[in-house]
Structure 1
């Protein structure tokens, strides 16, 4: 099964773990769990980190209220883990390409 369908399937069944770091960043940035669900179901993968452990991870781009957000998601067999979430800065072109 490819990554995006797996991520979306886990999001639909709410098989999601939020890291403590992600929770702090979400609070600081006013991002809710429902906002993250929106990005997981409607966003796109823009980078892949297949060698990450314990599970491969992916950088997703999604938009909330017209504002770009990046979410780093670990994709394991039985769940996904939200590692961090942030607004892309000037290091990104069109919110999806590193400069």
Structure 2
């Protein structure tokens, strides 16, 4: 399973690809490749999904240079690139400090 360090390096280097879903969401939410690379520097795992439907994945929190918070769900399958499953700017009404889901 891919480590957080591997994911960080790949995101920062631009070694990532989008699922069709993630590509649509990036366009709809105006999230650029540059912002993903910037957030890659600071990402941490906030939720881990080892038994996810298709493959192990995790939800990351990272911040752009402009301090925009991004949640990026990625596959944890070992590969030369990181596959982004979905991404969005977390809603403060749904998250506490962007890390804990409100109940």
> Across the two proteins, how many residue pairs are aligned to each other?
99
C-alpha displacement at 1:12, in angstroms? 5.3
Unaligned runs of 5+ in 1: none
Correspondences of 1:44-63 after superposition (within 5 Å): 44-63=44-63
Where does structure 1 differ by over 4 angstroms across 4 or more consecutive aligned residues?
none
Instruction: Tell me what 2:77 maps to.
Output: 76
Instruction: Tell me what 1:95 maps to.
Output: 98
Unaligned runs of 5+ in 2: none
Q: In proportion to residue count, which structure has more strand? A: 1
- Please give the alpha-carbon distance, in whole angstroms, between the structure 2 residues aligned to 1:55 and 1:80: 13
Tell me how large the CA RMSD over aligned residues is. 2.0
- Please give the alpha-carbon distance, in whole angstroms, between the structure 2 residues aligned to 1:16 and 1:60: 14
- Summarize the Cα distance change of 1:12–1:70 in structure 2 as closer, same or farther, 3 Å threshold: closer
